[in-house]
Amino acid sequence: QVQLVESGGGSVQAGGSLRLSCVASGYKYSRYCMAWFRQTPGKERKEVASIDGDGATVYADSVKGRFTISKSSDRDTLYLQMSSLKPEDSGTYLCALSHKSCDVGAGQGLYNYWGQGTQVTVSS
């Protein structure tokens, strides 16, 4: 059974940094895509960044140059280093895992498994 457990959220002031982690268990296929999504009340989940099994990364325009997605060498932990945070970065950040390769523009429908999320609040 695949499980994704996020941690690392919190409250910071604008300009601050946070590092999110997502521990994945129960998935041992060689092909996969993992991503971080942000959800805010009343809005659709937005993909923030993704990484595939080869380490190729894709970022939303709004976070390029500020966020970095990475994974541990054993691929069991996914990270999102967030710097120069802005109030509009606030939301619940969810970790997602797909059986398929990453597909830019596919959105949340690509992903088979989801974590419960971790809350990020950035104050101005």
Does residue 29 carry a pLDDT above 80?
Answer: no
Give me the percent of the chain exceeding a pLDDT of 90.
81
Per the DSSP assignment, residues forming a β-bridge with 75 are: none
Residues in the chain: 124
Q: Pick the more confident residue, 106 or 78.
A: 78
* Of residues 93, 113, 91, the one with CA closest to residue 34: 113
Compute the distance between CA of residue 114 and CA of residue 108 in angstroms, rounded to an integer: 10
Range of weakest confidence among 31-40, 66-75, 84-93:
66-75
Record the tokens describing residue 58, joined without a space: 């894709």
* Of residues 88, 96, 122, the one with CA closest to residue 13: 122
Record the tokens describing residue 29, joined without a space: 């296929």
- Of the chain, the end-to-end C-alpha distance in Å amounts to 40
The mean pLDDT value of the chain amounts to 94
Compute the distance between CA of residue 93 and CA of residue 117 in angstroms, rounded to an integer: 5
Q: What is the pLDDT of residues 5-16, one digit of tens each?
A: 999 999 999 999
Compute the distance between CA of residue 38 and CA of residue 94 in angstroms, rounded to an integer: 6
Q: Are β-strands 10-13 and 18-25 bridged in parallel, bridged antiparallel, or unpaired? A: unpaired
